[in-house]
Structure 1
Amino acid sequence: MSLTAPPAPAPRITYGAVLGSPYVARLLGGTLTGRLPNSMAPVVMLLWATASGSSIAFGGLLSALYGLSSALAQPVKGRLMDRHGHSAVHLPAALLNSALLVALPLAGPYGGPGLGTAIVVGGGLTTPPLEAGLRALWPSVLPDPRLRHAALALDTGTQGLLYIVGPLLVAALASAYNPAVALAVTAALGLAGTVTVALAPPSRHWRPERTGVQDAALARGLAAPAVLLLFLSLTGIGFAIGAMNVWSIAMAEHHHQDMLSGTLPAAFSTGSFLGGLIYGSRTWPGATTRRLIIATAAFLTGWLPLLTLPSPYAATVAIAVPGVFLTVVVACTYVTTDALTPAGRTSEAYAWLILSIGAGQSIGTALAGRLAEQPLASAVLPAAGAAFALTILLAARRRLGPAGQRQRGRHNKP
Structure 2
Amino acid sequence: MTSSEGGGLHAYVALLCRPHVARFLLGGVIIQFPYAMVNMALLIGARDVYGSYSSAGVAAAVMSSAGALFGPNVGRAIDKWGQKRVATAVGAFWLASIALLGLVLVLRPPYWVLVVVVVMLGVSVPGGSLIRARWRVALRSDPGAMPSALSLTSVAEECMWVLSTPIATALATLVSPVAALVFGVATILIGLHLLLGDSTHEPASLVPGAPLPLRRRREPSDPMIEDTVVLPGVAAPGVDADYPPLPGSLPSDAEADGDPDRDGTANDPAGHASAPEERPAPASSTRIPERLWTPTFAVLLLVLVFYGAFQSTTGIAIVAFAQERGMQAWAGSVSACFSAGSMIGALVYGMRRWPGALWARGEAGVPYSLADACQDHLLGLAIEESARTGREVVTEIEAWATGV
Scaled by the length of structure 1, what TM-score is found?
0.68
Report the secondary structure of 1:124's partner residue: coil
Instruction: Work out which of the residue numbers 291, 299, 302 in structure 2 matches 1:229.
Output: 299
CA distance in 1, matches of 2:309, 2:56: 22
1:104 maps to 101
Does residue 386 of structure 2 align to residue 329 of structure 1? yes
CA distance in 2, matches of 1:286, 1:59: 45
| Contact 1:295-1:328 within 8 A present in 2 as well | no
1:137 maps to 134
Q: CA deviation at 1:202?
A: 3.3
2:121 maps to 123
Q: Which amino acid aligns with 2:102?
A: P
| Contact 2:27-2:195 within 8 A present in 1 as well | yes
| Contact 1:157-1:327 within 8 A present in 2 as well | no
Counterparts in 2 of 1:326 and 1:129: CA distance versus 1, 3 Å? same
Task: Determine which structure has more spread, i.e. the larger CA radius of gyration.
Answer: 2
Does residue 347 of structure 2 align to residue 347 of structure 1? no
Counterparts in 2 of 1:62 and 1:151: CA distance versus 1, 3 Å? same
Superimposed CA distance per residue, residues 262-281 of structure 1 (whole angstroms, 9 cap, x where no aligned partner)? 55533222111111111111
Q: Which amino acid aligns with 1:353?
A: A
Does residue 59 of structure 2 align to residue 65 of structure 1? no
Superimposed CA distance per residue, residues 351-409 of structure 1 (whole angstroms, 9 cap, x where no aligned partner)? 11225xx9xxxxxxxxxxxxxxxxxxxxxxxxxxxxxxxxxxxxxxxxxxxxxxxxxxx
How many corresponding residue pairs? 325
CA distance in 2, matches of 1:128, 1:195: 13
Q: Which amino acid aligns with 2:401?
A: L
Counterparts of residues 35-114 of structure 1 (less than 5 Å): 35-52=32-49, 54-107=51-104, 109=107, 112-114=110-112
Report the secondary structure of 2:308's partner residue: helix
Q: CA deviation at 1:138?
A: 0.5
Q: Which amino acid aligns with 2:302?
A: L
Structure 2: gaps spanning 5 or more residues:
207-241, 245-281
Q: CA deviation at 1:75?
A: 0.8
Counterparts in 2 of 1:244 and 1:215: CA distance versus 1, 3 Å? same
Counterparts in 2 of 1:323 and 1:136: CA distance versus 1, 3 Å? same
2:5 maps to 10
| Contact 1:156-1:330 within 8 A present in 2 as well | no
1:150 maps to 148
CA distance in 1, matches of 2:69, 2:139: 30
Q: CA deviation at 1:101?
A: 0.9
1:169 maps to 167
Q: CA deviation at 1:240?
A: 4.3
Counterparts in 2 of 1:158 and 1:327: CA distance versus 1, 3 Å? farther
Counterparts in 2 of 1:246 and 1:205: CA distance versus 1, 3 Å? closer
| Contact 2:38-2:184 within 8 A present in 1 as well | yes
2:181 maps to 183
CA distance in 2, matches of 1:73, 1:120: 12
Scaled by the length of structure 2, what TM-score is found?
0.70
Q: Which amino acid aligns with 1:169?
A: I
Report the secondary structure of 1:168's partner residue: helix
| Contact 1:137-1:206 within 8 A present in 2 as well | no
Report the secondary structure of 2:389's partner residue: helix
CA distance in 1, matches of 2:42, 2:118: 9
Counterparts in 2 of 1:74 and 1:271: CA distance versus 1, 3 Å? same
Counterparts in 2 of 1:223 and 1:324: CA distance versus 1, 3 Å? closer
| Contact 2:163-2:336 within 8 A present in 1 as well | no
Report the secondary structure of 1:200's partner residue: coil
Larger relative contact order (CA 8 Å, sep ≥ 6): 2
Structure 1: gaps spanning 5 or more residues:
1-8, 307-317, 339-345, 359-414
CA distance in 2, matches of 1:218, 1:18: 27
Counterparts in 2 of 1:204 and 1:219: CA distance versus 1, 3 Å? closer
Could you tell which deviates more after superposition, 206-215 or 136-145? 206-215
Percent sequence identity over aligned pairs: 24
RMSD: 3.2
| Contact 1:46-1:56 within 8 A present in 2 as well | yes
Report the secondary structure of 1:222's partner residue: coil
